[in-house]
Amino acid sequence: MTTGAAARGLHDGSVAEPARRTPVIAEADVVVAGGGPAGLAAAVSAARHGARTLLVERYGFLGGMGTAGGVTNFAGLYGQRDGTMVQLVRGVVDELLERIDHLGGLNAPQDGLQGRIRVRSYDIPAYKCAADAWLAAAGVTPLLHASVVGVAHDEHDAARLHALLVETKSGRGAIRARWFIDASGDADVAHHAGVPYELGDGHGDALYPSTMFRVGGVDAERALAAVGRFGAIDALMRAAAGRYRFPRDGAVLRPQRNPSEWRVNVTQVANAVGRAVDATDAWQLSAGEAEGRRQVIEYLRFLRAEVPGFERAELIDIGTQLGVRETRRVSGAYQLSGDDVLGGARFADTIGLNAWPIERHAAGRIEWAFARDARNTFNQLPWRMLLPQRASNLLVAGRCASMEHEGQSAARASGACFAMGQAAGTAAALMLRDGLTPHSVVPALQQALRRDGAELGADG
Ligand SMILES: Cc1cc2nc3c(=O)[nH]c(=O)nc-3n(C[C@H](O)[C@H](O)[C@H](O)COP(=O)(O)OP(=O)(O)OC[C@H]3O[C@@H](n4cnc5c(N)ncnc54)[C@H](O)[C@@H]3O)c2cc1C
């Protein structure tokens, strides 16, 4: 078998496809690519503000990494304000939380890292069902099982997108819209549109991906006594290191709503040269899936043999796909930096808050860095980080928005992605409705976001 670059070296390395005309299968005011936290919030917000909105998602369900990647946990919603831990990311996300809770799928807030963070875990099926109902209630049209594979530009204006090209079970189709929001996590639309972006850390590495999994049948009381304390699981891993192959130091091991079910965040998947799998490379991604599952089985062996309460643990789920933390980050009008996160940056064009610290998944370890002001652990997110260059009707929201590698290591958490999505969807609808531009929309956008319950921070 000859694959990848080697195959491209054969003959002229390509095959000719017949030219074709692609049918327009839908038209909307706003089309959102991707149904993760950013895409869901964007689509609901655009529809609420009067835009005919369509959301394209490659899987048959919504939730993004939160469901497909097996994340099962909302981080970045809570942070310290004036020394008190409160929910800082609010707005349309509150409706989703209520819907998941109504289905009995949302856990009470849990504190971690010695009280420096607060998260909420959830059940994946409840998230999927709540997201379906949420889009329907807002009047968003979903197109599931549809992958964005290209764009068509306006024939008179190279900076303007005319349509997304999608592949579906019924063939290839074009979806026309007036505004496009790239919430694909991997900046797929931006990539096809030819706008500038960076990949990973810019030096052939990135935040390492992890295959997430959950185990059931845990004796909750004994497990909590053994590994409920900060650092306890890391100590057990160090003691057993000679007997198992651990891909990184330390694990994040937490109970779900049902306390006999625990989520395990411990794998770390590298490519053939030991760098983070590049999830925009089909061959690396493919190999990474099998390697992640191999690590799951190895860690389960450790849990059963070495960790009190896990003796009868059963593997109940492995993420549908490798959990991808970072691929392409668009180079937009402003790139959120690590120092913005640590210094609690304030921006006049704030559209929401990030309340998560820097969580760098580096080779063999996780590196944390916290806001310098421990009493106020959040930073504002500027509107400019949603604005790519060289595209006049495209916004980018979520983990592929315009951020430096260090800034993305924080604002990629779900909380900030919901905030960015709400801002992108609201802005697209307002620009269409009121004839505003990306430059003139900010005051109206901030007003609408506040009215819709979003926290922008005091100075915005
Ligand atoms: C292992 C792991 C653990 C994590 N732990 C936590 C945690 O505990 N708490 C937390 O809050 N965050 C956590 N995160 C981060 C968080 O889950 C993500 O960063 C967040 O989901 C990003 O949201 P998003 O909407 O930008 O992108 P995503 O969640 O990646 O969603 C993108 C969506 O776009 C779809 N899509 C992609 N390409 C296409 C295409 N070409 N056509 C159509 N659809 C497409 C995808 O299927 C997906 O549904 C974790 C991430 C990983 C990988």
- The pLDDT profile of the chain, 460 residues, written as one tens digit per residue, is 777 766 666 677 889 999 999 999 999 999 999 999 999 999 999 999 999 999 999 999 999 999 999 999 999 999 999 999 999 999 999 999 999 999 999 999 999 888 899 999 999 999 999 999 999 999 999 999 999 999 999 999 999 999 999 999 999 999 999 999 999 999 999 999 999 999 998 888 999 999 999 999 999 999 999 999 888 999 999 999 999 999 999 899 999 999 999 999 999 999 999 999 999 999 999 999 999 999 999 999 999 999 999 999 999 999 999 999 999 999 999 999 999 999 999 999 999 999 999 999 999 999 999 999 999 999 999 999 999 999 999 999 999 999 999 999 999 999 999 999 999 999 999 999 999 999 999 999 999 999 999 999 975 4
Task: Print the domain residue range for 409.
Answer: 24-203+326-451
Beta strand 53-56 with 141-143: parallel, antiparallel or unpaired?
parallel
Are 149 and 245 members of one domain?
no
Question: Could you tell me the CA-to-CA distances from 433 to 178, 284, 342, 414 in Å, in that order?
Answer: 11, 44, 37, 28
Residue 192: closest CA among 200, 182, 204: 182
Angle CA 222–224–225, to nearest 5: 65
Are 63 and 152 members of one domain?
yes
Helix (H, G, I), strand (E, B) or coil at 36: coil
CA of 387 relative to ligand 1 center, distance in Å:
20
Are 305 and 444 members of one domain?
no
User: Which of 274, 292, 318 finishes a domain?
Assistant: 318
User: Which of 298, 318, 338 finishes a domain?
Assistant: 318
Are 175 and 102 members of one domain?
yes
Residue 20: closest CA among 173, 156, 161: 173
How far apart are alpha carbons 38 and 185 in whole angstroms?
Answer: 9
Ligand 1 atom 48: the closest Cα is on which residue? 64
Are 97 and 147 members of one domain?
yes
User: Which of 318, 337, 358 finishes a domain?
Assistant: 318
Under a CB-based contact definition with an 8 Å cutoff, are residues 83 and 375 in contact?
yes
Is 289 inside any structural domain?
yes
Residue 191, pLDDT score: 98
Are 161 and 189 members of one domain?
yes
Is 346 inside any structural domain?
yes
Question: Could you tell me the CA-to-CA distances from 250 to 71, 266, 286, 297, 334 in Å, in that order?
Answer: 17, 7, 26, 17, 34
CATH code, 385: 3.50.50.60
Is 19 inside any structural domain?
no
Are 314 and 368 members of one domain?
no
| Predicted TM-score (pTM) of this structure | 0.97
Mutate to test the pocket of ligand 1, among 55, 61, 65 (most ligand atoms within 8 A of CB): 65
CA of 8 relative to ligand 1 center, distance in Å:
31
Is 7 inside any structural domain?
no
Q: Which residues form ligand 1's pocket by a CB distance below 6 Å? A: 33-39, 56-59, 64-66, 68-69, 71, 73-76, 147-148, 183-186, 188, 209-210, 212, 265, 323-325, 398-399, 412-414, 417
Residue 84 CB burial class (10 angstroms; 0-12, 13-18, ≥19) = exposed
How far apart are alpha carbons 320 and 318 in whole angstroms?
Answer: 6
For residue 363, give the DSSP letter.
Answer: T
Helix H or strand E segment including 111: strand 110-112
Domain count, the chain: 2
Under a CB-based contact definition with an 8 Å cutoff, are residues 263 and 249 in contact?
no
Mutate to test the pocket of ligand 1, among 414, 418, 422 (most ligand atoms within 8 A of CB): 414
CA of 176 relative to ligand 1 center, distance in Å:
25
Are 361 and 399 members of one domain?
yes
Is 4 inside any structural domain?
no
Ligand 1 atom 4: the closest Cα is on which residue? 71
Alpha-carbon dihedral 90, 118, 406, 293, rounded to 10 degrees: -110
Cite the DSSP H helix spans in 49-144: 92-102, 124-138
CA of 216 relative to ligand 1 center, distance in Å:
24
Is 1 inside any structural domain?
no
Residue 289, pLDDT score: 98
CA of 225 relative to ligand 1 center, distance in Å:
32
Are 136 and 234 members of one domain?
no
Is 137 inside any structural domain?
yes
Q: In the structure encoding, which two tokens stand for residue 152, read together?
A: 């068509």
Mutate to test the pocket of ligand 1, among 78, 121, 184, 186 (most ligand atoms within 8 A of CB): 184
Are 114 and 263 members of one domain?
no
Are 63 and 181 members of one domain?
yes
Is 460 inside any structural domain?
no
Are 74 and 186 members of one domain?
yes
